[in-house]
Homo-oligomer: A and B are copies of this chain.
Amino acid sequence: MADKSKLDEFGLIAELLAPLADNEAADGLTDDAARVAVPQGHELVISTDTLVAGVHFPEHGDAALVANRLLACNISDLAAKGATPFGCLLTLGVAETWGRAFVTSFVEALGQGLKAYGLQLWGGDTVRSQTAFVGLTVHGLVPHGSMLTRGGAQDGDDVYVTGTIGDAFLDMPESGAAYAAPTPPLAFGLGLRGLAHAAVDVSDGLLADLDHMCRASGGGMVIEAAAIPLSEAGRSHGNLAELVGAGDDLEIAFTAAQDKADALTALAEHHGIGLTRIGSFQKAAAPQAVLRDADGADITPQQRGFRHF
């Protein structure tokens, strides 16, 4: 079922990935399963995200972009849970379009990312596919019972978001840095353990992800449109509805008690992260996020988020 060039490509992938799996659990990828011991007093946080050619990345796109976005969207999930990256399994759906240069460049970017995030490569699966795809299942660690969830928001909490909103969307046409090499606020997320009540990573679009927290926490949010942090490009764009509905920001939205404001500001400054209070959470309100202008008028757009399909 395989021609010679394909076999060589798969051999190349195995050869290139083996040095990245320099950890006890993977045993150098010599076996087909990883053995993982979880440190005492800790729980695992597990998430998986797959990117498909033509849907989540350009079919003839840059290999480093694919690796960076794959890592970032998975690490973003861990960051919003307050989970320290631990290890991962990689699935590669290899299409005809993947030559030696693509594979080499992909693995190089992957290796740099794994190192930067402190994420071990434990194993994976490489398969042939007409449509290229890449998938990662990531495992993070949290001290027992301390995982941040969408569901912990409490009455009167402030609502915050890191960074700026809409830049990945604005960058897409030019494959700018916010889209091509996103850097989820991981260290800040770890610092949120014990400070935040609820958290979510902004991947479907700010409003859609705030809605997730509202539904899980059983309450509503009032979000001040003027407070939503925008980059210069975002302000020039001007269409706020589009920016809060676009996905892929990979920032963290969260709620915390009002008396945590100073501690949160200090944490953000420590990690060089932009942090903005954008609204508040009320238990009594309907379970969704409502966008208000300066006069208090409801300007919530109908399109509440980007669906990744």
A308 at the interface (CB under 8 A from B): yes
For A33, A49, A78, the residue with the greatest tally of chain B CB atoms inside 10 Å of its CB is A33
Complex interface: chain B residues within 8 A of A77 (CB):
32-33
Distance (whole angstroms) from the CB of A71 to the closest CB of chain B: 15
Complex interface: chain B residues within 8 A of A22 (CB):
none
Q: Across the interface, do B81 and A147 meet the contact criterion of CB distance under 8 Å?
A: no
Please, how many residues of chain A have a CB less than 8 angstroms from a CB on the other chain? 66
What mask results when residues 31 to 56 of chain A are scored 1 for a CB within 8 Å of chain B, else 0?
Answer: 11111111010011111111110111
Other-chain contact of A2, B30, B52, B127, B307 (Cβ < 8 Å): B307
A113 at the interface (CB under 8 A from B): no
A151 to B32, CA, bound (A): 12
Interface residues of A (CB under 8 A from B): 1-2, 6-7, 10, 25, 27, 30-38, 40, 43-52, 54-56, 77-78, 81, 83, 89, 91, 93-94, 122-131, 133, 135, 137, 139-140, 142, 144, 147, 149-151, 200-201, 216, 306-309
Complex interface: chain B residues within 8 A of A54 (CB):
130
Q: Across the interface, do B137 and A78 meet the contact criterion of CB distance under 8 Å?
A: no
Complex interface: chain B residues within 8 A of A37 (CB):
43-44, 144
Q: Across the interface, do B52 and A43 meet the contact criterion of CB distance under 8 Å?
A: no
A6 to B89, CA, bound (A): 28
Q: Across the interface, do B131 and A130 meet the contact criterion of CB distance under 8 Å?
A: yes
Distance (whole angstroms) from the CB of A41 to the closest CB of chain B: 10
Q: Across the interface, do A124 and B52 meet the contact criterion of CB distance under 8 Å?
A: no
Q: Across the interface, do B52 and A45 meet the contact criterion of CB distance under 8 Å?
A: no
Complex interface: chain B residues within 8 A of A47 (CB):
32-34, 89, 123
Distance (whole angstroms) from the CB of A81 to the closest CB of chain B: 5
A201 to B31, CA, bound (A): 11
Distance (whole angstroms) from the CB of A205 to the closest CB of chain B: 12
Complex interface: chain B residues within 8 A of A140 (CB):
33
Q: Across the interface, do B307 and A1 meet the contact criterion of CB distance under 8 Å?
A: yes
Complex interface: chain B residues within 8 A of A48 (CB):
89, 91, 123-125, 137
A195 to B147, CA, bound (A): 39
Q: Across the interface, do A30 and B151 meet the contact criterion of CB distance under 8 Å?
A: yes
Q: Across the interface, do A31 and B127 meet the contact criterion of CB distance under 8 Å?
A: no
Q: Across the interface, do A309 and B1 meet the contact criterion of CB distance under 8 Å?
A: yes
Can you add 20 more A-B contacts, CB < 8 Å, to A36-B46, A47-B123?
A1-B55, A10-B307, A31-B151, A33-B45, A33-B46, A33-B78, A33-B147, A34-B47, A35-B142, A35-B147, A36-B43, A36-B44, A46-B89, A46-B123, A50-B135, A52-B127, A52-B130, A55-B127, A93-B133, A129-B133
